Amino acid sequence: MPVVVNQLENAIVRMMDDLERALQKPPSERRWGMVIDLTKCVACDACTVSCKAENKTPPGVNYTVVIKEEVGTYPNVRSTFLPRPCMHCENPPCVDVCPVSATWKSEEGIVVIDYDVCIGCRYCVTACPYGARTFDFGEFYTEGTPMIAPYETAPTFEYGEERTRTEGESPIGNVRKCNFCVQRLHEGLLPACINDCIGRARYFGDLNDPDSLVSELLRERYSFKLKEDLGTDPKVFYLS
Amino acid sequence: MSTNEKENGKSIINSEISRRDFIKTSAVVGGSMVVAANVNTAFNKIREFGELSNGVEASGSYPLNDAENIIYSVCLQCHTGCTIKGKIMDGVLVKIDGNPYSPMNMLPHLSYDTPPTKAAKYDAKLCPKGQAGVNSEYDPYRITKVLKRAGKRGENKWEVISFDQAINEIVNGGTFADGTKTPGLKDIRAVTDPDLMAALKTDAMAVAGGDMTLDEFKSKHADHLDLLIDPDHPDLGPKNNQFVVQNGRIEHGRKEFSKRWLKDAFGSINWYEHTTICEQSHHIATIQVTNQYKGDGGWGGGKEQLKPDYANAEMVIFFGTGAFEANFGPTPMSELVTWSLTYRNMKMAVVDPRLSKTAAKAKWWLPVKPGADAALALAMGRWIIENERYDAKYLVNANKAAAAADNETSWTNSTWLVKIENGKPTRLLRPAEAGLGDVDGFVVSQNGSLVVVDPNDADNAVEGDLFAEGTVNGISYKTSFQLYKEETMMHSMEEWSDICGIPLRKIEEVSNEFTSHGKRVGVDFYRGPVQHTNGYYSGTAIVMLNVLVGASGWTGGVGAGGGHWHEDGSKAGQPFPIGKAMHPGKVGSFGVTLTREKWHYEKSTLFKRDGYPAKRPWFPYTGNVYQEIIPSAASGYPYPIQALYLHKGTPAFAAPGGNPVLEAIADPNVIPLVFADDIVIGETTMYCDYLFPDTAIWERWGTPHITPAIQSKTSKFRQPIVDPLVEKVTVFGQEQPISMEAVFLAIAEKMGLPGYGKNGFGDGMDFNNRQDYFLRMAANLAFGDKEDGSDAVPEADDEELRVFREARRHLPKAIFDEERWKSVIGDESLWRRVVFLLNRGGRYEDFSKAYKNEKLGHPYSGLFNVFVDNVAAGFHSLTGEHFHGLPNYQPAQDASGKDLPEGGNDYPFQLFTFKHIYGGQSRTVSNYWAQLGVASENYVLMNKVDSDKLGLKEGDLVKLVSPSNPDGVWKLPNNEVKPVVGKVKPIQGIRPGTVAASWSFGHWAYGASDVTIDGQVVKGDPRRATGVCPNAVMYEDPVLKNASLSDPIGGSASYFDTPVNVVRA
């Protein structure tokens, strides 16, 4: 039997090459999508924390989580792990309910929020069937301790804007959600959760590119989407 | 987290957020405030959001992946010590990812010659705990200045004092507010002359060995008897030994730095790390089974760990560990395992009373009874032998040449003959005993006739009979393998199944699968099976499964990993031989260690005095018996101590049965001087007299070694990413951050210890600060292992030098001083090579070198001992009986070798613990993103059938009680009583009859409670006090009274042998 491991390709390098190719195209010709291999998710929450660190999200604001459930009865019992970012639906229910048009589906397929327009009404939080949106109440993890830690007041680059969470200013008081780390995508970098995944369960790329790793995985493996019956047409796919 | 709208009382629109109360307290706690103030002004360039939604490409304003903002270093949130990429913004470490150059973080990793500017774009994987290092670095409860006790020990009242005052008082003695006085190290360091130390050592050992009488010794050393702990027992060593350094999570680099200081310069033998409260018996079992025969009855060179080659194995079994949570460790191991599970159909079995995350992916979950892992392993062994599924061709090879003839790199002593005396296997039969002449070596049977075997003979192949027994010169013998078989036959399969609690059908299925893939299988184990009193024996029973199939050395089999280059300069030609030489005036040390480790009781003068049973156990085969340090000092056996230095560890909290440790450490009559370093006031360090702030992981240096899960050669190198938050002080005329290193250097300066300061490493080589040490280690690694220098890393070019400088532009001169660093290295070419290495955080062999076709690129080569002669030679120091040379199953025992009683109706559950991935040791409770953000608390886990029986529902508060702690409390002297109470969580994924709690919660210090500094109260964070730490109810040894149960061979502390009850709180 051959030494199979030597045939491994570096998934990060491959996906970044895919990304570079996609960025050559006009935005409207790309379709960003995420593929999550549930057989490889180890429920470590490296994605959860990578997202937190990248976006400096405060308590209660989680762009991606891993839902862990126990199924069965001893000794026939299993655990299931389901990472859940924003689904970036093709038909996003959250968009239509926004009274001020602060959220929309971008040309390249990302459901974005304009913090400067968002009034924090949270209709979208309720409308999202996946629980992917959370509200920034302005809390800090290190409140009530001897100091607010500098990692909480360091700037973020969400949507390409440098912002420091400061009371009375966005994104405090806004609804927040996963945006596929658009600030990184446009630099040719992958969403942070993809890089840090220790089980190599998360993949990202251009669904319109048949040569991308995500397209290849969707061709070769069985995949499904969450709550497909709702017609939201998510752009996050699960392999099982 | 409370994100409740009502609580915040704000409008649903957006802006009426109540004003945050940004508390500012003294500069002692929360040193990072200064850094925080700088962050907000650092970035001005704002890009319009519209640009993005309109599809206009952004460029150049995302700074985190620029090489100039990145320093590679090494994590230590857990022992895996992953290579990391630290991203810095205006001097603040804002994000940590994996290092793409390293096989720990990328599969396969980038080529070593990739320019740093390119590698900067590739962020590699890292576990959540490693990423949350940002939270540990900027923990608001970090201490930045030296604290001196202002109340009783443990009262948590402190005053800030200067570093120089603390050093002065530690060296010369101090006085405290409550009237207590501490002794000075100058009075403890009795022997200061290297020649005298050597002479006393030689003669003391002669007395212990019976080659010199005590009277002869006393008359010869009449002038110096007062320098000894006990002139009647000179083998206890000089009074210097009454100063003890007890380390928790210390690693290579700091380890050698610290040993050089204590053992070689101060002259005390008592240097310890913490491995027995981690997984020491795993190491000792593996070392003993892989020990090589050195001739003349000597053994050595064994490997601490063997791990399956997960990327190529077809079946792996995990005993008491897994790939995705703890072990060694999740970042490097997870992807290897998930890839094999998904794309190679690798089969996996997980032996664990809890349905771990790894078990969740396994074909077989085997919820073993805690402590009965050996029974399961022996049952598998029996099945494999009875069904003839072992690799007989491999096992008959009795020496190196025979192995080589079969294209094997390892061989075993399966065929070697063992003497049977009084019906018991005792020792390996030697040629002279068998009438085969006076030659070194052992004996095998070849079709019944006996021949000599030299294990290391590479030319003359010797095979032997796998099964043989007989008598020669009146000596009965059997082969090692025959004896192993008999151990597996001690019980029927049904009985073994009953003992380990795994259904017979499953044992058979797993045994069958394990022996259906040739050599592409492996067994991994860690803490679970070995933190028991039977840990060593269980470990050998588990390693034996790898031996039966001859998996060692093969791709898809097991190996000891790719290894590392030698940072200590021990290879010929390396520029700085810092490990062995470079210590002018070295004093050295000798004597029985406080824990009686690495010492046969029978070879001590205390044996002559006391005989059997010894007052406390001696540990001839292991070291670092952490749980015995403070209890031994408390009982004054083998001698009392005067001073204790605690480094990065918390023995009261982390070791099992901590109450007696707390009682001892709180009492100045037991240990007159206790000082420590820590980054936060911890559960144990709150009991010290002086507390120094230490640098955090991301502020310091180190050369930790690579996990054996990595098959390519790797040397990790830790270096400061950010300016330490601690105060800077002047030692040997140089400004440096307070740290473990600075404390040692300052004491060396004050006491004039040899080998420090001007010419401390030899002529022209000063030892004034930590960089003087670690940069030389970096130079050794950059030079490589080959004498002619052909193994050196490339020189950094000018562009790499620019990146190197730019990435360190935020570091002050005390932390980074290019000219000074360069002068330490001395040579321009070597300096550029060091920069090349530092720019990559270490050095990494190419991925292609991991495998040579069907063999591992770095296979384990050598002998496996089925019969461990080295251990069979030793005695249990309380019973006086020989240890057993073969894997076997024993129930839990106390120090006197007596079986512990069953829990019965009073204590019907067996307690165990585990580590979730968010928790490191005791230090991750500051991780607001991970341990607190994701997990927030832990639970008392029990099977729903058990909780139903007790009428308990999820969330009910319960107390754990045990035979040695029937009240279920932590007794914190001079402080409070903290009940061992947690919330019940009924689950299905746990063996009925057991209860479990994850480690890392249940704090009473480390920012969980209030402390008073200079009269000002610093409030604790109640989020850091959640959950339960069950260690207090773990068995205190009924014989020793003041310490936990221990494995007498491997030394592991028992965490999982305690029966408990769960009562409503």
- pLDDT tens digit string along B537-577? 999 999 999 999 999 999 999 999 999 999 999 999 999 99
Query: What is the overall mean pLDDT for chain A?
Result: 95
- CA–CA separation, B992 and B941 (whole Å): 10
| Contact (CB<8Å) B55/A26 | yes
In B114-213, where does DSSP find H-type helix? 116-119, 128-131, 133-137, 163-172, 185-188, 194-208
Q: Does A26 touch chain B (CB under 8 A)?
A: yes
The DSSP result for B409-455, as a single string, is SEEESTTBEEEEETTEEEEE--TTTTTS-S-SSEEEEETTEEEEE-T
Average pLDDT over residues B222-243: 98
Which residue bears the tokens 């009488």? B213
Q: Which residue has the tokens 């969400």?
A: A158
Would an 8 Å CB–CB cutoff place A106 in contact with chain B? yes
As a whole number of angstroms, the distance between CA B331 and CA B74 comes to 13
CB of A99 within 8 Å of any CB in chain B? no
Residue A69, strand partner residues: A80
Which residues on chain B are in Cβ contact (under 8 Å) with A201?
338
Q: Between A45, A183, A198, which is nearest B62 by CB?
A: A183
Is the model's pLDDT at A39 over the cut of 50? yes
By 3-state DSSP, what share of chain A in percent is helix, strand and coil, each rounded to 5? Answer: 30, 20, 50
B225/A contact by beta carbon, under 8 A: no
Identity of the residue in B107, B131, B848 whose CB atom sits nearest the CB atom of A53: B131
Instruction: Provide mean pLDDT across the span B679-696.
Output: 98
Q: Is the pLDDT of residue B523 over 90?
A: yes
Q: For a pLDDT cut of 90, what percent of chain B falls above it?
A: 93
**What are residue B699's phi and psi, to 5 degrees?**
-115, 5
- Cβ-defined contact of A161 to B48 (cutoff 8 Å): yes
CA distance B301 to chain A (A): 30
Q: Which amino acid is at B236?
A: L
* Residue A4 confidence (pLDDT): 52
Give the one of B13, B344, B930 whose C-beta lies nearest to A49's C-beta: B930
* Subunit contact B945:A45, Cβ cutoff 8 A: no
- Interior CA angle at A41 toward A37 and A47, to 5°? 105
| Angle, alpha carbons A27-A32-A38 (nearest 5°) | 175
CB contact under 8 A, B33 and A59: no
The CATH number assigned to the domain with range B307-553+856-872 reads 3.40.228.10
Point out the residue among B19, B930, B988 whose CB comes nearest to the CB of A72.
B988
Task: Tell whether the model's pLDDT for residue B36 goes beyond 80.
Answer: no
Peptide bond just before A27 cis, omega within 30 deg: no
Instruction: Please count the residues of chain B.
Output: 1065
Q: Cβ contacts (< 8 Å) between B24 and chain A: which residues? A: 146-147
Among residues 204-233 of chain A, which lie with CB inside 8 Å of chain B?
none
> How close is the nearest chain A Cα to the Cα of B1040, in Å?
38
Cα torsion B797, B799, B804, B805: sign = positive
Q: Which residue of B has its CA nearest to A23?
A: B57
Cα–Cα dist B694/B247, whole Å: 13
Cross-chain CB nearest to A160 (options B47, B93, B934) = B47
CB-based contact B1019 A27, cutoff 8 Å? no
A113: pLDDT confidence band, cut at 50, 70 and 90?
Answer: very high
CA proximity to B185, closest of B268, B269, B87, B309: B268
Does the pLDDT at position B17 exceed 90?
A: no
Distance in Å, alpha carbon of B851 to nearest chain A alpha carbon: 8
Q: Does A6 touch chain B (CB under 8 A)?
A: yes
pLDDT exceeds 90 at position B51: no
A159, closest residue in chain B (CA to CA): B49
User: Residue B1009 is encoded by which pair of tokens?
Assistant: 């409670």
Task: Return the closest-CA partner of residue B197 out of B585, B775, B568.
Answer: B585
CA distances from B73 to B127, B310, B834 (A): 15, 26, 14
Banded model confidence at residue B922, pLDDT cuts 50, 70, 90:
confident
pLDDT for the residue A8:
78
Give ipTM to 2 decimals. Answer: 0.98
- B521 vs chain A: nearest CA distance in angstroms? 14
Res. B43: pLDDT tops 60? no
Render pLDDT for B146-160 as a digit per residue (tens, 0 to 9).
999 999 999 999 999
| Site of tokens 């009985």 | B495
Does B323 contact chain A (CB < 8 Å)? yes
Nearest CB to A147; choose among B33, B62, B108: B33
Choose the closest CB to B122 out of A6, A12, A154: A12
Q: Distance between CA B366 and CA B510 in Å, rounded? A: 10
Averaged pLDDT for residues A170-181: 98
A10–B128 C-beta distance less than 8 A: no
Assigned CATH for A4-228: 3.30.70.20
What does the block give as tokens for B942? 């029990």
Phi, psi of B926 (to 5 degrees): -85, 0
Could you give the percent of chain B with pLDDT greater than 70? 94
Token pair listed for B9: 């009382």
Q: What are phi and psi of B686, to 5 degrees?
A: -65, -10
DSSP run (H or E) holding B632: helix B629-635
| Residue B972: closest CA among B661, B677, B627 | B661
DSSP state of B986: E
Whether residue A108 contacts residue A207, with contact meaning beta carbons closer than 8 Å, is answered with no
Count Cβ–Cβ pairs < 8 Å, chain A vs chain B.
334
The domain limits of chain B are: 307-553+856-872, 909-1064
Rounded Cα distance, B358 and B340, in Å? 13
CA-to-CA distance for B722 and B804, rounded, in angstroms?
A: 14
CB B697 within 8 A of CB B943: no
Question: Quick one: which of B1058, B1056, B1059, B1061 has its CA closest to B277?
Answer: B1056
Alpha-carbon distance B92 to A55, whole Å? Answer: 15
Whether A91 has its CB under 8 Å from any CB of chain B: the answer is no
pLDDT digits (tens, 9 = 90+) for B582-611: 999 999 999 999 999 999 999 999 999 999
Q: Give the tokens for residue B669.
A: 């009559």
Report the gap between the CA of B363 and the closest CA in chain A (Å): 10
Output the pLDDT for position B675: 98
* Angle, alpha carbons B636-B641-B643 (nearest 5°): 150
- Give the pair of three-digit tokens for residue B81: 């010590």
Chain-centroid distance of CA B284 in Å reads: 13
For residues B1056-1062, average pLDDT: 98
Output the CA–CA distances (angstroms, integers) from residue B21 to A145, A146, B26, in the order listed.
10, 10, 16
Q: Rounded to the nearest 10 degrees, how much is the dihedral formed by the CA atoms of A203, A205, A211, A217?
A: 30
- B357 contacts A75? CB cut-off 8 A: no
The topology (CATH level 3) of B909-1064 is: Barwin-like endoglucanases (2.40.40)
Among chain A residues, CA nearest to B93:
A151
pLDDT band for position A7 (cuts 50, 70, 90): low
Give helix B770-783 / helix B818-825 axis angle, nearest 10°. Answer: 60
Alpha-carbon distance values, B936 to A51, B682, B923, B965, B987 (Å): 18, 19, 14, 27, 18
> What single letter denotes the amino acid at residue B239?
K
Gap between the Cα atoms of B120 and B118, Å rounded: 5
pLDDT at B48: 29
Average pLDDT of the residues of chain B: 94
Rounded to the nearest 10 degrees, the angle between the axes of helix B493-500 and helix B504-514 is: 100
Cis peptide before A75 (omega within 30 of 0): yes
Dihedral sign computed on CA atoms, order B164, B166, B172, B178: positive
CB contact under 8 A, A39 and B342: yes
Q: For position B52, what pLDDT does the model report?
A: 36
How far apart are the C-alpha atoms of B572 and B579, rounded to whole Å?
12
Residue A40: per-residue pLDDT: 98
Contact B800, B115 (CB under 8 A): yes
DSSP β-ladder status, B728-731 and B714-716: unpaired
Give the residues across from B476 on adjacent strands: B420, B471
Rounded CA separation B657/B532 (Å) = 14
How far apart CA B454 and CA B464 sit, in angstroms, is 12
* B contact residues 337-356, partner A, Cβ 8 Å cutoff: 338-339, 341-344, 355
Give pLDDT tens digits for A54-100: 999 999 999 999 999 999 999 999 999 999 999 999 999 999 999 99
User: Which residues of chain B are within 8 Å of residue A24 when distances are taken between CB atoms?
Assistant: none
B298 Cβ contact partners less than 8 Å away, ≥ 6 residues apart: none
Give the C-alpha separation, B289 to B538, whole Å.
12
Chain B interface, mutation test: which of A57, A151, A163, A190, most B Cβ atoms within 10 Å?
A151
Residue A169 CB neighbour total at 10 angstroms: 17
Q: A236: distance to nearest CA of chain B, Å?
A: 20
Question: Which residue of chain A has the CA closest to B39?
Answer: A154
**CB within 8 Å: A199 and B338:** yes
Sequence-distant (≥ 6) Cβ neighbours of residue B1028 within 8 angstroms: B938, B939, B940, B960, B980, B981, B982, B983, B997, B1001, B1002
Contacts with A107 from chain B: Cβ below 8 Å? 53, 55
Q: Which residue from A minimizes the CA distance to B943?
A: A74
Q: In angstroms, what separates the C-alpha of A40 from chain B's closest C-alpha? A: 5
Find tokens 């008999």 and name the residue. B486
Residue B920 confidence class, pLDDT cut points 50, 70, 90: confident
Separation in Å, CA B970 to CA A141, B626, B957:
29, 20, 17
Per the CB < 8 Å rule, is A46 touching B141? no
Where does the pLDDT of residue A6 fall: very low under 50, low under 70, confident under 90, or very high at 90 and above?
low
| Block residue for tokens 């491995």 | B275
Q: What is the pLDDT of residues B956-965, one digit of tens each?
A: 999 999 999 9
What confidence category does residue A5 fall into, taking pLDDT thresholds of 50, 70 and 90? low
Closest A-chain CA to B139: A149
The whole-angstrom separation of Cα B303 and Cα B336 is 22
Alpha carbon distance B656, B965 (integer Å): 12
A3/B335 Cβ within 8 A: no
Q: Look at A45 and B918 and tell me if their CB atoms are within 8 Å.
A: yes
Q: Which two tokens stand for residue B798?
A: 């000018």
pLDDT digits (tens, 9 = 90+) for B443-461: 999 999 999 999 999 999 9
pLDDT class for B9, splitting at 50, 70, 90? very low
Averaged pLDDT for residues A19-46: 97
Nearest CB to A159 within list B52, B135, B917: B52
Task: Summarize the confidence of residues B836-859 as an average pLDDT.
Answer: 96
Q: How is residue B718 written in tokens?
A: 């830790």
Kindly tell me if the per-residue pLDDT of B374 is higher than 60: yes
Cross-chain residue pair B126–A154, CB shorter than 8 Å: no
B411: nearest Cα among B393, B425, B427, B429? B393
**A151: which residues sit within 8 A by CB, 6+ positions away?**
A53, A56, B92, B93, B94, B134, B135, B138
The answer to whether the CB atoms of A49 and B933 lie below 8 A apart is yes
Q: What are B793-804's pLDDT values in tens digits?
A: 999 999 999 999
